[in-house]
Amino acid sequence: SSSPTIMNHQHARNPGMEFDVAWVESVQVNAPAVQHRAETHFKRRSIKKTWQLAWLCRAVSCLDLTTLQGNDTASNVQRLCGKAMHPIRPDLVQKMNLEGKKITVASVCVYPNRVVDAVACLKGSGVPVASVAAGFPAGQTPMAQRVAEIRSAVSAGAGEIDIVISREHVIMHNWRALYDEIRAFREACGDAHLKTILATGELPTLRDVYKASLVCMMGGADFIKTSTGKEPVNATLPVSLVMIRAIRDYYERTGHKVGFKPAGGMRQAKEALAWLALMMEELGPDWTRPDLFRFGVSSMLIDLERQLEHGITGKYSSEHYMGMG
C-alpha cells in the first residue's frame, strides 16, 4: 500500500475522549435563537470589496472537489484531479501575482473504487484524496463490512475518509452505540483523517444534531459534516450553527479542535464568503482554513472563478469558459 497524502494540519488531531453520557444528556438548544441568528447572518454580513479576491481564493482552497456518481470512470476522475491541482485559470492567477502560491483545492473526494485513479493523478501535488466509506450514503450495511471498506480505501491511498453515521442510533437516542461506531471507524482510519457525516436532514431535532455532533467528536472525529449531498435537505444554516456551537463547546472543554464541513445546497460565491465570515465570527480564524473548514460543493467552484475574473477584469465569462476539468 502507498503512503497516503495527508493535509499538513496546524494543530494536533482530536484524539477523542471517554464517552460522557452526562454531558450528552445535558444538552439544550434554544431553537428560536438559532433561527434568528441564522436568518440575520446572510442579510447583514458581507466581506468588503478590497478583501474579496483574497477570500474568494481562500474559499477555493477549502473546497473538497467531489464526484460521487454511479458512472464515474478513471477519465472523469483524472479531469477532476487536473482541476483540483489548477482550480483557477492561469491568466487569473498571473494577474493576482499568485503564481508562486500554488493554489489548489483541499482534496478530491471519490468512491472507494476510484481512490487508486485519484491517487495516481495527484501524486506529488500535495492534494489529498478523500474517500467516502462505511456504506455511504445510507450506512445500512453490516458493521464489519463498513469497517473493511474504510481499511480498503486507506490502503489504496486515501488520506481522508468521509463516513456516514448510523442515523438509527441518533433517532433511538442510543448514544453509546454511536460512540462505539465512531471509535471503530477512527481506529480503522489509522493516520487518515476521519470526517463524520451526520445526514442532518434525516435527524429529528436540532438537539439531536448537537448531541450527535458531540458524540462524534468524543469518538475521535477530525471533522463533522452536515450531509451526504444525497439527501433532499442539505446544509441549512440553523443546523450548521448548532454543529458549529458544539465544536466550540467541545474545544472549550477539551482543548481539541475539530473541523466543520457543510455539504450540498450551495452554489454561489457570495454564499462561500458568508460561510467563511460565519466561521470567523463563531470559531475564529483557524476555522477559515482548509485544515478545519471545507465546502462539499464542487459546482461552487465555477462561480468562485467567475467572481475572481470579475474582480480582476470587471467582466464575466460564460460558465462554459470555467470548465470543471
Give just the sign of the alpha carbon dihedral 35, 36, 39, 45. Answer: negative
Residue 213 one-letter amino acid:
S
Best CA proximity match to 238, nearest among 45, 26, 44, 31: 31
Among candidate residues 83, 195, 211, 261, the one labeled active-site is 261
Q: How do beta strands 193-197 and 160-164 pair?
A: parallel
Best CA proximity match to 130, nearest among 318, 302, 312, 296: 296
Other residues' Cβ atoms within 10 Å of the Cβ of residue 104: 22
Task: Annotate 174-209 with b (16+ C-beta within 10 A) or e (fewer).
Answer: ebeebbbbbebbbebbeebbbbbbbbbbbbeebebb
Place of cell 482541476: 83
Place of cell 500554488: 102
38 burial via Cβ count (<10 Å: 0-12, 13-18, 19+): middle
Among candidate residues 195, 225, 257, 303, the one labeled active-site is 225
H/E stretch holding 80 reads helix 74-85
Residues composing the chain: 325
Examine the residue annotation and report whether 261 is marked as an active-site residue of this protein.
yes
- How many DSSP H helices and E strands does the chain contain? 13, 7
Among candidate residues 162, 208, 222, 303, the one labeled active-site is 162
Q: Which residues are catalytic?
A: 162, 225, 261
